[in-house]
Amino acid sequence: MLPRKHPLKCQKRKQENCPLASSEQVKHFSITHRTIVIDPRSHGRSTTIVHGNDYITHGTDLDKVLKQLKVENATLVGWSFGCLTVWEYIRQFGMGGIKSLVLIDMPPKSLSVQLDEDWVEGPLDDMAAAYTNYLRNPKGQRDFISAYATGIMVQRELKEEELNWIVEQSLKTPYYIAANLFSSGLFSDYRVEAAESSESDSLCCCRAAEHWAEAATSYLNKLAPKASVEVLGGHLMFWEYSEKFNEVVKGFLGGNG
């Protein structure tokens, strides 16, 4: 691994656009790496458009960004549904220009009828209810993000200004686009890419300890036995436990340098 020449490319979640959430990672890793954080189309500061809001297109977009910035030998970092973009990129373009992967808190297949065996986003009925009841208007989207932030994203009680910040960042993606990305992600299946990418010891996953860590670890050990699996905090672990998270990633990068 060559300092400043090994790029870190961070890909964020479908609707939880937290540009400052990764600030501690940018600060930490930009000392030794070329560190790039992107907002996918219709996220954060990127242009909001009505077409291409799916993970197949996001994978194509990622390739264009990497080529435009002349990024080679990269570590791709995906968080939540951002992992789907990474896997889609691998499906379309392979692992040729990728050194390693850091995939944060996302199963490669979101839904399954074998809930006692597979690591999934949740039961189908729960996911359907979230889509039908919450992602139909701005208020529903706000309520959905607020409940998810307080129940899943962090382990401590959020201050009011912290919760407002997370919600407001998320609402930069309009509800109708968030709904489209939600369904696109839920019906994706990247088990093949997850398994194949781990063959070169290139996969590092961090998982929420208090929610489905046991299911995730067991599932990944079967699907991608060469992957390095770490358990830490809630869904927004890299924000709540930034120092611990950075040490995990630093150790992974050092072992794959």
Please tell me the distance from the alpha carbon of residue 199 to that of residue 188, in angstroms, as a whole number: 21
Q: What pLDDT, on the 0 to 100 scale, is given for residue 66? A: 95
DSSP state of 39: P
Please tell me the distance from the alpha carbon of residue 102 to that of residue 113, in angstroms, as a whole number: 27
Q: What pLDDT, on the 0 to 100 scale, is given for residue 226? A: 86
CB atoms within 10 A of CB 196: 18
Reported as a single tens digit per residue, the pLDDT across 157-186 is 999 999 999 999 999 999 999 999 999 999
8-11 and 98-104 strand pairing = unpaired
| Class of residue 30 by CB neighbours under 10 A (exposed 0-12, middle 13-18, buried 19+) | middle
Domain ranges of the chain: 8-255
Reported as a single tens digit per residue, the pLDDT across 43-88 is 988 999 999 999 999 999 999 999 999 999 899 999 999 999 999 9
Mean pLDDT of 129-139: 95
Q: What pLDDT, on the 0 to 100 scale, is given for residue 21? A: 59
Q: Which residues on neighbouring strands pair with residue 243, listed in sequence order?
A: none
Q: What pLDDT, on the 0 to 100 scale, is given for residue 11? A: 55
Q: What pLDDT, on the 0 to 100 scale, is given for residue 23? A: 86
E strand spans, 106-192: none
pLDDT for 126 beyond 50: yes
Place of tokens 């896997």: 87
DSSP string, 51-102: S--SHHHHHHHHHHHHHHTT--SEEEEEETTHHHHHHHHHHHH-STTEEEEE
Q: How high is the mean pLDDT of the chain? A: 87
Q: How confident is the model at residue 9 (pLDDT cuts 50, 70, 90)?
A: low
Q: What pLDDT, on the 0 to 100 scale, is given for residue 116? A: 82
Domain 8-255 has what CATH class? Answer: alpha beta
Reported as a single tens digit per residue, the pLDDT across 197-214 is 887 645 566 565 457 888
